Amino acid sequence: MINETPRVRFAPSPTGYLHVGGLRTALYNYLFAKKNNGEFILRIEDTDRNRYVEGAVENLIETIKWTGLVYDEGPDREGNYGPYYQSQRLDIYKKYADQLIEDGKAYYCFCTPERIQKLREEQQAKKEQAKYDKHCLNLSKEEVQAKLDAGEKHVVRLNVPLSEKIYVNDIVRGKVEFASETVDDQILIKGDGYPTYHLANVVDDHLMKITHVIRGEEWLSSTPKHVLLYNFLGWELPEFAHLPLLLNPDKSKLSKRQGDVAVEDYKSKGYFKEALVNFVALLGWNAGDDKEFYEMNGLIESFSLDRVNKSGAVFNVEKLNWLNSEHLKEKDNSELLSELKNLLENSEHSEYSDKDDVLSKIIEVMKDRIVFVKDVIESASYFFETPKEYDEKTIAKKWKPESNKYLQVLLEKYEQLENPTKEDYETTLKQTLEEHEIGMGKLMLPLRLAVSGVGGGPHVYDILDIIGKEETIKRMKTAIEKIKAE
């Protein structure tokens, strides 16, 4: 190992939102670091200026912090190996590119885009792999210097040796072998003077003393280029771990075409960060048992790269929803109350946003029935307003010709109650059932429909207790007038 303290990094490009796959990569790096008393570094790989999105860096940092992944070094947590923006390290990359050229491990390429395009078309016609043909490697030093002096546009390419085997020892995939003939003479420095990912990432990982490179499977095919660079520069290789792809339910690669892929999307929809982190952790890893519910400390304690799977992981939103509901149940009611109040302030029921006593009761009875806090407003609006309509299927099944009569009897008894408690509503209803020798369903379901408009939900006595006697009487009268058995 390069040093005794594991050092890992998450190195996103500021090209837009943080992909859930990026979150998974960041999370595994973070968990590995914390499990092994190591350090987790955030590095911004902003050298692709064509894809740079204004504000994306700030958004990335904010989103990473929201998830609870606290990095030890990064753009706003300077350590000993900064700067942590690649765009601020251009002189460093040039130094090593010049060294590679001097050693014959890289070379200047002056080929025009037109020649490169023609070459690709010819290779495609012959059904050959599209790769550079080392044309400019044959230029003499004098020719190269003349072109540089004349200001000709150029790039710097990696000089990949022919007829060699390149081996990658991967923690997840084992030993992977590549034939050098399949590896392109990768561009290291682009025409604008900025490095490509390949050079910058290797240089930075070495200088920042990264011990383990944990990243997505899509980078495995690029790894032989990186191994060559480490070897050419005389540097010790880090350990590699390439994580499995994230897949849609149809086993295609996870993409925005089939659903949300941005962490911000899930945040805005009301998912808890704890649930999203828990879910993402299980996309390609398990602890070797059936456990699925984790808090962050539990993930850190259980995580191991040895338990990361090779095969792709299916992104199952139903499982994410289940985990969100489980994490919601574990949350303190005061936290849920705060979120509910914020949601109500921006809703048509804003007058309830300061009624903490009522809202606390609602949270208590709804906590085991919802996936999101917003579900209280969206699926249980009867706590905040009189039903505007009644569920027709429930009416057809449960509202009988005698329902209006029995509901009227119960209504009159409820009117006589003074400051009723939840128990008073229950006792009175049961007395009514006994007096008329009828079953619970004859009265309970019509009462629920009358006060909520729907056939399901928390216990009806809880609803009555929360909305209060006056509102209960009002709703029962309205239902008796409006609902008729067919």
Pairing of strands 174-179, 187-189: unpaired
Query: Which of 256, 310, 329, 482 is flagged as catalytic?
Result: 256
Helix (H) and strand (E) counts in the chain: 20, 11
Q: How do the residues of the chain divide into helix, strand and coil, expressed in percent and rounded to 5?
A: 50, 10, 35
Calculate the alpha carbon distances from 94 to 137, 140, 195, 227 in Å: 19, 22, 8, 19
For residue 147, indicate whether it is catalytic: no
3-state secondary structure of 75: coil
Task: Indicate the burial class of 291 (C-beta count within 10 angstroms; 0-12, 13-18, 19 or more).
Answer: exposed
3-state secondary structure of 309: coil
Enumerate long-range contacts of 466-469, CB under 8 Å, 24 or more apart: 466/358, 466/361, 466/362, 466/365, 466/383, 467/382, 467/383, 469/414, 469/417, 469/419, 469/420
- The DSSP 8-state label assigned to residue 243 in this structure reads E
Q: What's the token pair of residue 248? A: 């849609």
CB 224 within 8 Å of CB 242: no
Q: Which residue numbers are catalytic?
A: 256
